[in-house]
Amino acid sequence: MKTTVLLTGASGFLGAHLTRELLARRYQVRVLVRHERSTSTLAGLPVEHFVGNVLDTQSLKKVVVGCDVIIHAAALAQVNPARSSVVWAVNHTGTENLIEAAQLANVQRFVYVGTANVFGFGTKQQPGNETYPFVGKRYNSDYIDSKRAATDRVQEAVQQVGLPAIMVHPTFMLGEFDAKPTSGQMLLELYRGRVLGYPAGGKNYVHVRDVAIATVNALTRGRLGESYILGNVNMSYQEAFQLMALRMNVSPPRWSIPPSLAKLYGFGCDALAKLTSHTGKLNSAMIAVANDGHYFSSQKAIIELGLPQTPIEEAIDEAFDWFKRHKYITERA
């Protein structure tokens, strides 16, 4: 008999890859999707659809019946505005609800998908890992804070009620099926020539398919109660933008944006948003993050979860090709 997996967040960027990876391994896949979310990236896939959301405890009680394992990938990755009660509700309360549902179903494994930003970052020479303490409070970002709180809640459930959970924490993912788009928006903005400069910081990049593989591996591998950072290559924004521009055959941004100037611009964005009641493209929290180098090591996940390390060039190429095929952009003359 096939193992039945409940996957939340299936209609999202990572969710599209998780669904395909699970099906490729012959799992029975049950997906929880919201009414308002498009499921175009799941079209034609042999999955069980349940309509509901992580804040509706009644729908969760129904969808977990008969499930053997759960992958909880649903989250609201909203960073603008920086403060949002909805973000807290989905990311923290939603995770609490899934934990209760998992206990009700007596699942064999619960895999929680977090974010690498719940750990402290390091330098390229000494990147951060799962032992580095959380420093994200400095950003005043409800997305980062809520994901840290949700991670803590899963850890508490492991210790207090024996939840058989493993936590995986992706870095910045790139690849196809980014329908919204989310992280791929960076590629689109670069291609359209709307990025005039690069901030002082950097981050870790990973192929979204590698994240999906390691996350599904966590259903049978890894140590209960442990966290695993899922990433690959650390690059400054200058390096990343140059590589992305090269792969897309466009010119990279030329100007370095001093941190002090970027910070001042962020405060200006906040003031304008408060004055007009309209959220702009940036805020001071986003700029503060961009000014730092969010560099991480994924050695633990490589060893224990079999995290692949696909060259990030492939992720960029696949994302760009997917955007072109789906008419997000047109070829330049």
54-102 pLDDT per residue, tens:
999 998 999 999 999 999 999 999 999 999 999 999 999 999 999 999 9
**Residue at 289 is within a domain:** no
| Ramachandran bin of 169, using left for φ above 0, alpha for ψ from -120 to 50, beta for the remaining angles | beta
**Residue at 126 is within a domain:** yes
**Residue at 331 is within a domain:** no
- CATH code of the domain in which 115 resides: 3.40.50.720
- What is the span of the domain harbouring residue 140? 4-241+295-325
Q: Are 76 and 87 in contact (CB under 8 A)?
A: yes
- Domain count within the chain: 1
Q: What is the pTM of this model?
A: 0.96
First CA to last CA distance, the chain: 54
- CA-based radius of gyration for the chain: 19
Q: Which one-letter DSSP state was computed for residue 281?
A: S
Going by pLDDT thresholds of 50, 70 and 90, the confidence category of residue 226 is very high
Mean per-residue pLDDT over the chain, rounded: 95
Give the separation between CA 205 and CA 171, rounded to whole angstroms: 6
By percentage, how much of the chain surpasses pLDDT 70? 98
**Residue at 133 is within a domain:** yes
Dump pLDDT digits (tens) for 239-274.
999 999 999 999 999 999 999 999 999 999 999 988
